[in-house]
Structure 1
């Protein structure tokens, strides 16, 4: 079936699936697998959902990454990190990004566009992981301190996806 015969909804869904695959690959290229994000989600929700499994968390991470609003934020954030590494961003923004300047804040704002899709539970979870930097987030943050490496947006994006997935689980399984 050609794309011209697909309904707009079917076409958008196909596009979202393609973007999902691109995002998975870009995350992998930067050292992050979706299972790493699912493990964070698991840690956030296991006290509240006794029957929780990593597999269920991975399903919710997939759901989050399939959302168009999330995809757009992820693509923009990763692209900005890569452009900073290539030094094609002008000063003073380049130095702020390469140094992950603490008062920059735009990285968190972009990440909040992801968690806002899932409400206040996602927001509070994001604040928690952003402060403590558990698991893969800490690894990303440390890798970003290497010369020429920029993970200014990536660590927040990963935390936001995990937080949004945790919120999705909370909405579905809390009593």
Structure 2
């Protein structure tokens, strides 16, 4: 099991229970929770701790790998790869603190996770973004993902289904 992925500017490390306060602080920002389908606008510290515990179990089963993006010793985002079922492609999802938007950090992190998974023999991945978040789509396009469909996805942070662009990568 990989514990660290290093890039030029980031260390991607497994999330731990100690990350819960910082994660909860970051995702309280509507610019984040509105763009991630599974985050509520009022997510509690306890709910974040439960989320971390669930993902720790998923790492042991090789169904879920979640990394804290650490820049200069500060958690600035989270990226994960979740396999929704046996034989299915990993789905990559992420968020980045708004103070780091436009810096290229998420492209760097997403490419590192994609390459880490490829190094483990994975060849296909899925991801996606809400239609009103084109910056996330640009991150995915830069690392080789292509649009593969459109749909509507329910967002807990928005309280409604919103247009979503599905994207795929096949090596």
TM-score, reference length from structure 1: 0.30
Larger relative helix fraction: 1
The answer to which structure, 1 or 2, has the higher relative contact order (CA under 8 A, 6+ apart) is 1
TM-score, reference length from structure 2: 0.30
Larger relative strand fraction: 2
